[in-house]
Amino acid sequence: MNAPPSEAESLAHERQQLYRDMSPLHLTPLWEVLHALVPPQPNSPCVSTLWRYEQVRPFLQRAGELISAEEAVRRVLILENPGLPGKSAITQSLYAGLQLILPGEVAPSHRHTQSALRFIVEGTGAYTAVDGERTLMHPGDFIITPSWTWHDHGNEVNEPVVWLDGLDIPMVSFFDAGFAENGAAISQPVTRNEGSSYANFGHNMAPVRSSSPFGQSSPIFNYPYARSREALHQLEAHSPVDPWDGFKLRYINPLSGGAPMPTIQPFLQRLPSGFEGKAWRQTDGAVYSVVEGSGTAEVTGTTGTVRFHFNPRDHFVVPSWQTLRLHSAQGCVLFSFSDRPAHQALGIHREERIS
């Protein structure tokens, strides 16, 4: 003879019956999921990952042989986080990929609500056009495509050009705010001289009766590496080294002093030779592109510590609230970007430097 259910068993049964009865009304109990929804600290599903350029480049080359730029619209290999399979994302809010454009090709004109950056990895002389102005691309240049601006890319030189694409695609998708439109022609007409944006806004000055042509985004859409690298050189020559970052600068919107784009903040930093960085973490997950030199990234998360030895043109990601330590015996330069402006706008950004 079966024993009658205990008081605890009866209560558990009644709770499950409650959940079944209210399910048709699309009601679920918060108390069953509260700790997962509001955790004691960030617990990202993303994992720290390194993409070695020497391993990636052959696949870019093969893609170039099989898929035309016009057919692909954008011939890009996505850097997909292993913790987010099928999501086309490198963090839960950011997208990254490596784009190839071959000699004589044009990536056709289009526009979208997603903000984009380009960081030139390999090759010199291809161009990008934004709302009627073209700019030539050189390794290390940081170029933005503000939200809802027409843009196309072309290669009129005799070598392939590769750049890192960074976009806020997952973030815009979260808000269900993604729109896109194709241009009437493959290439947009050029209506302004190259360098016009930089001439107007790139010298700590601005036209007297003018505002940014790109809304909340920077009126400068090409930040040349030669100028940015010189700024780091001067900083290294005359300023003390930061124990966590080395020498690190953020790119800015010259009109506001804020980030060049409302959702993405890019950075450039120099680790001097012999640098042994201290550990730190931040809520904004960051994507890194190695510009010069080599070093090691030590990333510690809830599952342990991984170490990446990086070389020029390699890329790696550090997820939210995972601890990062950087080391470089010979010295190096790193470009990175994160979703920090969105964190700051929402009042949720946090950074911790560990002594």
Q: What single letter denotes the amino acid at residue 278?
A: K
Residues whose CB is less than 8 angstroms from the CB of residue 304 and which lie 6 or more positions away in sequence, other chains included: none
The answer to whether residue 54 sits within a structural domain is yes
CATH code assigned at 288? 2.60.120.10
The domain in which residue 90 lies consists of 49-353
Give domain status of residue 149, yes or no.
Answer: yes
Is 330 contained in some domain?
A: yes
Does the residue 1 lie in any domain? no
Question: Is 36 part of a structural domain of the chain?
Answer: no
In order along its 355 residues, the chain shows pLDDT tens digits of 677 788 889 999 999 999 999 999 999 999 999 999 999 999 999 999 999 999 999 999 999 999 998 888 999 999 999 999 999 999 999 999 999 999 999 999 999 999 999 999 999 999 999 999 999 999 999 999 999 999 999 999 999 999 999 999 999 999 999 999 999 999 999 999 999 999 999 998 889 987 778 889 999 999 999 999 999 999 999 999 999 999 999 999 999 999 999 999 999 999 999 999 999 999 999 999 999 999 999 999 988 999 999 999 999 999 999 999 999 999 999 999 999 999 999 999 999 999 8
Q: How, if at all, do strands 106-112 and 151-154 pair?
A: antiparallel
**Cα–Cα distance for residue pair 210/77, rounded to 1 Å:** 39
Q: Is 20 within a domain?
A: no
Rounded Cα–Cα distance for residues 144 and 70 (Å): 21
Q: Phi first, then psi: give them for residue 196, nearest 5 degrees.
A: -60, -45
Structural domain includes residue 156: yes
Q: Is residue 10 domain-resident? A: no
Structural domains of the chain, count? 1
